[in-house]
Amino acid sequence: MKWLVLSIGLLCSTACGSRNHGADKGVFCVPAARAISNVGWAPADTGHMGDVAFRGCEAADKDCGLPKEISSGLITTKTAQVWKWESLPADSFYKRVAIEGSPQFELSGDGRTVTISNPNLTSDLYVWRKVASANGRQNPLADGDELLAVCRLAEQAGRSAESWILSCDRYVQGKGYGLHYTFKSTGRVPQDVQSMDSKTLAQVESWRCKKD
């Protein structure tokens, strides 16, 4: 299932060496080193003038303020959608991936994060946060569980199946804006997603333009 993504419309202000954008009622001045005119995963024909794109940290960047896993992001006027297990229709694609055929479940050590794959339906991987440990259930998802990210295989660092690097899409809600960012994971069950959320949101907040 394809994630709904938005494209970018940008208004540039060069006087202070940053790009000045509006997202919802806030105004963001993204530093020139981070600002980009678009993100590769956003179709160019569905943009909103309030959307703001930024790129992640390069390997040479010592401290750009963003988690090193972040590839790119989009600050958008659209409210971030939250998908909970109990709110999904029975025939929704997310539920079909988890229950149809022979889905595969990979759990974190504490059983609170699960990655679901179902090659018969899709090549994507679906990462869920659980409200309680899976406890060995055949289908580990239950009411209250939340979809964290949708991932795909991006590159292979070695010959083993475990050497694949994932590229993942994540949606979170900020203060008056939605945030869609992509990140890389070297594990099939991404770790510390909540920590990545808080650090990324804090950096976006720091980009609000200073009022005179």
- Each residue of 167-185: pLDDT tens digit? 999 999 998 899 999 999 9
pLDDT digits (tens, 9 = 90+) for 53-92: 898 887 556 678 899 899 999 998 888 888 999 999 989 9
The tokens for 2 are: 């394809």
- Same-domain check for residues 75 and 176: yes
Q: Are 96 and 150 contained in the same domain?
A: yes
* Four-CA torsion 146, 4, 10, 171, nearest 10 degrees: 10
Q: Are residues 195 and 94 in the same domain?
A: no
| Residue 103 and residue 118 in one domain | yes
Judge if 201 and 134 occupy the same domain: no
pLDDT score at 199: 93
The 10s digit of each residue's pLDDT in 138-168 is 678 999 999 999 999 876 655 555 556 889 9
Q: Are residues 193 and 153 in the same domain?
A: no
Domain that holds residue 95: 85-164
Answer yes or no: do 198 and 154 share one domain: no
How many domains does the structure of the chain reveal?
2
Contact 97, 103 (CB under 8 A): yes
Query: Is residue 188 domain-shared with residue 144, that is, in the same domain?
Result: no
With contact defined as beta carbons under 8 Å apart, do 30 and 16 qualify?
Answer: no
* pTM: predicted TM-score of the whole model, two decimal places: 0.76
Cα dihedral 19, 203, 167, 10 in deg (nearest 10): -20
Contact 38, 8 (CB under 8 A): yes
Residue 179 lies in a domain: yes
Burial state string for 166-197 with b = 16 or more CB within 10 A and e = fewer than 16: bbbbbbbebeebbbbbbbbbeebbbeebeebb
Tell me the CA distances in angstroms from 12 to 9, 23, 53, 63, one per residue in order.
Answer: 10, 14, 12, 24
Q: Which two tokens stand for residue 41?
A: 């995963």
Distance of CA 103 to the CA centre of its chain: 23
Q: Are residues 77 and 180 in the same domain?
A: yes
Domain shared by 201 and 101, yes or no: no
